[in-house]
Amino acid sequence: MSKMIRTALGVIEGFVQNQVEKYLGIPFAEPPVGALRFKTAVAKQPWDGILQAKGFRKDPIQLNLIRDFSHYSEDCLYLNIWVPAERDEKLPVMVWIPGGAYANGGAGCDVPEGPAMYDGTRIAADAQAVVVSVSYRLNAFGFLNLHRYAEELDDHVGMKDIIEALRWVRQNIAAFGGDPENVTLFGESAGGGAISALLFCDEAKPYFDKAIIESNCWESFYDEEMEDMVCRKYLEFCGLTTEEAADIRKLSYEQLGEAHKKLDQYMFNDYFLRCSFAPVIDGVFLREFPTLSAMEQQDKAVLVGSNHDEGYFQVLAYQIGPDRTERLRDVLMQLVPEEDRKRLLSAYHFPAWEALGDLLTDVMYTFPKIRFAEHMSRAGKAPVYVYRYDYVTPFQKKYHMKACHVSELLALFPVVTSPFGDWGRGDEEQLEKIGRRMRRYFGAFARSGKPEAEGLTEWLPYDEKDRHTLVIAEEDRLEKDPEGEVRRLYEGIDRVEI
């Protein structure tokens, strides 16, 4: 059944399915092509007639070793909306920021009918919220800051795409039944990283009220010195000098993709798991590194978590065996002072590949998550709630993946598309039970700032006395300091720069 919505920009036609209204492929900005390539997003102008919003748009241009560029599009600034069909009041709004190392992913699909990796239907229904998913420019198109070399190119354009989407939500979401004064960002991996950075962005501050940060690789941010190195390397791989930076707009996807491959290889060899592209903490647009902030101005409630064995994802994805673990360990920890490095590494059983998985989990996810929560609770400006996701599917057990990166998404959405959807095949019933609880926790937090709902395990805020952490598994439980061993190991260290 079709459903019409009149917004300030024009009429949008979506459809109703399974008691949820769906509006797919809505443009929130003008296409960032031609003269707008590598430029800050321009707000979408009003349209005449009826905008058909019944199919997903393609994900942003990205490098994929299996699919060619025809599966993606530079015209990518679109969002999708899911709304419970039965509602009696304004609903909280939950805006999903997808992950993918700031280089891959998106909120769309290469075919309009889907399935997309992120389908907000069940979250909208169980959270009783208006769910919005957003695509933003990735890789060189969104996270290469070249303005210092060419005035006609802009910086931070991927992050500014997200802010432009949030402006669109603020101006239009009431027409869909959402409360523009109650907006929660939620996202995983690089999506969670982008959200953690936006907590310290004055331009973004008016457009959201709370944040849910899942599986953030907390150190995947650049300072200006590192960003300068990355930009110079990428231009070099493009065959350009810094004086010729503006000519990047003339290069084909194939040329940009080849430069991306070379940059990935360079970063892997010299920095291991540092993202090739990342937000830049410049002290102006993005004010502070999230794990180093004293949180003096951070007054938004946050729900933050990670998975029990995050780093096993990277070890298995790169097929890292015992013959390479020690070299990659040393690359990963090269910026850590020698005394601290020796003490930390003595706790891991190298050269076993599992030791690298455990180290990655602690350095990139668990330890910085704890630091963030400590600083937030100490500042006392807003509550912070902490979780750890422990559930392992039979598929993951079979392939020794444990509760690695991406695991919680199998339950939350759930993810059914390959390759990640394969991890949950045959375990749908258990994942649905866990996922429904997660959607209700998240929905309650989006509504009130507290993850409390009837029939759910009590979830208390984190503080440095009790360190309450919700462990999400077959049966949820609230524990005090379940990651205390990691916390004590990294005592006295504020950041492990990778």
Instruction: Report helix, strand or coil for 99.
Output: coil
Q: How far is CA 93 from the centre of its chain?
A: 17
Which value, to the nearest 10 degrees, does the dihedral of the CA atoms of residues 482, 488, 489, 493 take? 120
C-alpha span between 449 and 251 (Å, rounded): 46
C-alpha span between 329 and 355 (Å, rounded): 9
Query: Which of 277, 343, 309, 350 is closest to 496 using CA atoms?
Result: 343
C-alpha span between 107 and 122 (Å, rounded): 16
C-alpha span between 399 and 369 (Å, rounded): 27
- φ, ψ dihedrals at 181, nearest 5°: -95, 5
**CB-based contact 423:391 (threshold 8 Å):** no
Q: Is 189 a catalytic residue?
A: yes
C-alpha span between 75 and 258 (Å, rounded): 21
Pairing of strands 468-472, 477-480: antiparallel
Q: Other C-beta atoms within 10 Å of 19: how many?
A: 11
Of these residues, 189, 196, 215, 293, which one is catalytic? 189
Catalytic residues: 189
